[in-house]
Amino acid sequence: MKTRAAVLQEIGRPAPYRESQPLVIEELDLDPPREGEVLVRMKAAGLCHSDLSVMDGNRPRPVPMALGHEAAGVIEQVGPGVRDLREGDHVVAVFIPSCGHCGPCAEGRPALCEPGGKANNEGVMIGGGHRLRRADGTTVNHHLGVSGFADYAVISTNSLVRIDPELPFTHAALFGCAVLTGVGAAVNSADVRPGQSVAVIGLGGVGLNSVMGALVAGASEVVAVDVDDNKLALARQLGATQVFNSSEDGSAERIREATGGGVHSAIEMAGSEKALEFAYRITRRGGVTVTGGLAHPERQVSIQQVSLVAEERTLRGSYVGSCVPVRDVARYVGLFRQGRLPVDQLLSRTLTLDTINDGFDRLASGEAVRQVIVFDD
């Protein structure tokens, strides 16, 4: 069958993207689902900094590549061997497939799935090979097993979670990346406990979810940190108890003073080594610094090594919020329905597939928190 998809032609085209057009809407041939796969009609897909990181080269991937990983839709067709999903199911895509059999999956850490990570790096499906081709027969790579900036996508069931059909697709799409990664970083990776203090550095869609996750976990103080005053205001609206602009001199010292020597947990979501160093500086003795931001692979972090020992500090990475998607998506949707996780407040605007480059201009400039492509029926 045919599908329209946003294809990244080459890495590193400069902003403004409206002019350089790194993403081109192409009509591609889409193979039918194979063993363990389904055909999904996309209904909504969010624009994320992880997509932008591929476009600008911070997360190098093979091109041409059909981008998009934060998506939700309806199953149109099931492939051979699929038993847990059926036609008509509403699903959210998760950006790393979990095979369920490798060492990390067996240990309950599906975010570290070894076959899934290898497939994502190579731009292929976890079941092997490609499902997208141009008219001349050349293959188009898959983005994180999803390639959700498209009318239709073939996706492994290892990358999908069934959701309540009453959940609006524009909200549902965010649960596969921004919510899992952000809320999970606070609830799972940092293991925030009631009464603790938490700082979140970097207030994009993921970071703001970490703010909400810390509140859900019972943090008594939630400090929001960014260089954008508008995002600081939104964090305050979502429940942050204090906000600090990190571009101001002495902001780290002021945070330490305001929190009695630093926070119990600092969560870095800016994707910058300087932001991670800042997060480490504002973490108290015995505290944990979590990073979920994806900096360029060549970037290095400088921290005081002795403090890890003498202060019993913890520095921890968090991928997909250390989540178990089949468990945590349902949990977080439940919190959203209770009004405790107002994900809808992060939606800056909706757009069409044809205006995707404009959307990435807004994302890169910091003008938008979360934008969602809505697909026509």
In the DSSP assignment, the letter for residue 83 is -
Q: Is the pLDDT of residue 373 over 80?
A: yes
Strands (E), the chain: 2-8, 23-30, 37-47, 65-66, 70-78, 90-93, 132-133, 139-142, 152-156, 160-162, 197-201, 221-226, 242-245, 263-268, 283-291, 314-317, 347-351, 370-374
Q: Is the pLDDT of residue 288 over 70?
A: yes
* Mean pLDDT for the stretch of residues 202-217: 98
**Is residue 236 within a helix (H) or strand (E), and if so which, with residue range?**
helix 229-238
> What is the dotted CATH code of the domain comprising 2-176+342-374?
3.90.180.10
Binned at pLDDT 50, 70 and 90, residue 296 comes out as confident
pLDDT at residue number 377: 66
**Of 36-50, 143-157, 253-267, 294-308, which range is least confident?**
294-308
Class of domain 182-318: alpha beta
Q: pTM of the entire structure?
A: 0.97
C-beta separation of 280 from 266 below 8 A? yes
Tens of pLDDT, residue by residue over 117-167, are: 999 999 999 999 999 999 999 999 999 999 999 999 999 999 999 999 999
Query: What is the mean pLDDT of the segment spanning 87-103?
Result: 97
Q: What distance in Å separates the CA atoms of residue 21 and residue 265, rounded to the nearest whole number?
A: 40
Give span(s): CATH 3.90.180.10, the chain.
Answer: 2-176+342-374
Which residues belong to CATH 3.40.50.720 in the chain? 182-318
pLDDT (mean) for 347-356: 97
pLDDT beyond 90 at 376: no
